Amino acid sequence: MSLLDAYIYLDRLGTVVRDRGFSAQTLSVLAVLCARPEMWRHGYDIARETGLKSGTLYPILIRLADRGLLEASWEDEQPAGRPRRHLYQLTSEGLARASQALAEAQAPARTGRKPSRTVGQIAPQGM
């Protein structure tokens, strides 16, 4: 395989778009952001509320921003003693998708199957 072939092959992988559901960690981030959607939140604040480590949290924030579900901005002013923070807020589409995903995650799953019998339960007549 030539270098050009490898580049073309890798370029194809970069365009694959998956629209899977949100992970439990992403749902926890979305829950924090949905709690006060009008408020800009910084990563440390989100990490403190979710309990997620930065190596998990920031990739989630980046993916949400790449999907257009999250807006990211720098603080306007630099406070004394620390660097400016990156701030995050759900977009209107992000708020709608997050609300829907959180509602679905809290709803009981429906499998369409009859419940299985438990030990000690009497079987109906005719089985």
pTM of whole model > 0.75?
A: no
Q: In CATH, which of 3.50.50.60, 1.10.10.10, 3.30.565.10, 3.20.20.140 is domain 20-106?
A: 1.10.10.10
pLDDT of 13-30, one tens digit each?
554 445 568 899 999 999
All structural domains of the chain with their residue ranges: 20-106
- Per-residue DSSP letter, 85: P
Single-letter code of the amino acid located at 95: L
Give the tokens for residue 70.
């999250």
Residue 89 to residue 64: CA distance in whole angstroms: 10
What is the spatial order of strands in the sheet that 70-74 belongs to?
A: 41-42, 86-90, 70-74
Whether the pLDDT of residue 31 is over 60: the answer is: yes
Give the tokens for residue 63.
């993916």
